[in-house]
Amino acid sequence: MQGAAEFMTEIEMLTKVRHSNLVSLIGYCFDDNEKILVYEYITNGTIEHHLRKADAPLSWMHRLKISIGAAEGLNYLHTDVGNQQGVVHRDVKSSNILLDENWVAKIADFGLSKLIDQQTSGVSTRLKGTFGYLDPEYYMTRRLTRKSDVYSFGVVLFELLTGRRAVDTSFREEEWNLANWAEKCVKERRLDQIIDSHIIAQISPKCLKEFVQIAARCLKSSRKKRPTMAGVVLALQQSMALQEQFDNSPQSASFTHIVQHLLFGSRLNSVVSTSASAPVTPSPHRFSMSPKLDKIDPVHLTLNLVARATQNFSPSLKLGEGGFGTVYKAQLPEGQLFAVK
């Protein structure tokens, strides 16, 4: 019964925002009581797909770059929308972060988003979101803040590190909830049980330490102890700088050999407690946020045009299920590709 409200919310939000790490809204259709949103087509699907279903697993460096891009998109939403307002996404998860042809992360699905004044600490609202990603303080108080997105993003970071779902009942009961299990492993210095086996030989110990620390801080039960998304961006950039330094060092090859030989040896168990040497300063460009794009008002499209572009919503063009409807691949006569929800 809330379809029309969520539909208008997404149009309103995506009309206000434009950023290289956000999916762009091209147009919409509201004919004959049909509610249709038309987006730019993102070719490489979701993070969730590539972590769990793709034939070739994402490399660790790919995962770092994806995490930075998604963090920059969220930071823009929280702080740079304009008119002293920010946007809380309210449904940050791996299935709502898409990857384009260059593997650039783009945040999608703004149907649950909420505008919040920059000067306020949050708003009281009905509970919405996805189990496994929900901020526990938001769950308890029904008070939504930017830090609610930060918590959800922390879960995504641990998904990228572990390759696991946010909730997965195929594991032992104490491991069903990724956030709780990851926090426990970090506290007990059992990182050998966390890291995706596909990337274990690729991660620098110092990069791992930095990455785990920022992910764990995002999951703090108290909002006051969580970082801002701007802080998350900087910490992830620092992680990448440490990884790049390691990849370019002579010790990289020998470390990879050792890890492959020992596979989750004691060296990684102690990473979080190991003191880092002199800090690495990332290249200056790492700290420049991804560019905002010129705002473009979405176009009102006719149902006839959308139907023709999707071959009358052909099952053969179905891409998947979005938060509020089926998503189809669409092509205009000129050849442009779009995603239609």
Q: Which residues are catalytic?
A: 91
Is 279:201 a contact under the CB 8 Å cutoff?
no
Separation of alpha carbons 148 and 50, rounded Å: 25
Structure tokens at 200: 């274990």
Beta strand 299-300 with 114-117 is unpaired
Q: Where are the alpha helices (DSSP H) in 86-222?
A: 136-141, 146-162, 178-187, 205-218
Q: In what order do the strands lie in the sheet with 299-300?
A: 299-300, 25-29, 36-40, 337-340, 325-331, 318-322
Q: Which residues of 260-280 are buried (b: 16+ CB within 10 A; e: fewer)?
A: eeeebeeebeebbeeeeeeeb
Structure tokens at 246: 């390691």
Separation of alpha carbons 133 and 142, rounded Å: 15
Q: Which residues pair with 85 in a beta bridge?
A: 82, 117
Separation of alpha carbons 245 and 165, rounded Å: 30
The residue type of 3 is: G
Give the orientation angle of helix 229-247 with respect to helix 60-79, to 10 degrees: 160
